[in-house]
Structure 1
């Protein structure tokens, strides 16, 4: 079972998080914060897009707003 967990460790440390090792060697506060700001901006744009789409469905009356619960409650 320990080989399974070592395999998960190897996947994350050596492959998935490998691009972040670049920032450790650069030791640049500005580069690290730039990456964080890029992710924040992408998340904000995605949230604005999603809210706009929800408003379109809400304005068209396509949203099911009936109050129902499960049959087992």
Structure 2
């Protein structure tokens, strides 16, 4: 069973995190290039938030949302 957990450790440390180790080595030379992946994730998150807000505004403009003020039945 111990070998199973060592295999998982080997997979993550030597295979899946290898690109991040390369980025860490690159950070000493070029900050912008090393943080490129982080900027990509920030841009994706920002675009998703803008899309979400546009969708919410569309539902709000069509009066599709129930805005009645009431408590839950269990209260």
TM-score, structure 1 normalization: 0.67
Cα gap change, 1:68 to 1:19, in 2 (>3 Å): farther
Aligned to 2:25: 25
Question: CA–CA distance in 2 between the matches of 1:13 and 1:63?
Answer: 48
The RMSD of aligned alpha carbons is 2.5
Gaps of 5+ in 2: none
Could you say which residue in structure 1 is the equivalent of 2:49?
Answer: 47
Q: 1:18-71: CA deviations, max 9, x gaps? A: 432220232342222222221111111111110000000000010111222222
Greater gyration radius: 2
- Unpaired segments ≥5 residues, structure 1: none
How many residues align? The count is: 68
Q: In the alignment, which residue of structure 2 is the partner of 1:61?
A: 63
- 1:13 deviates by 4.1
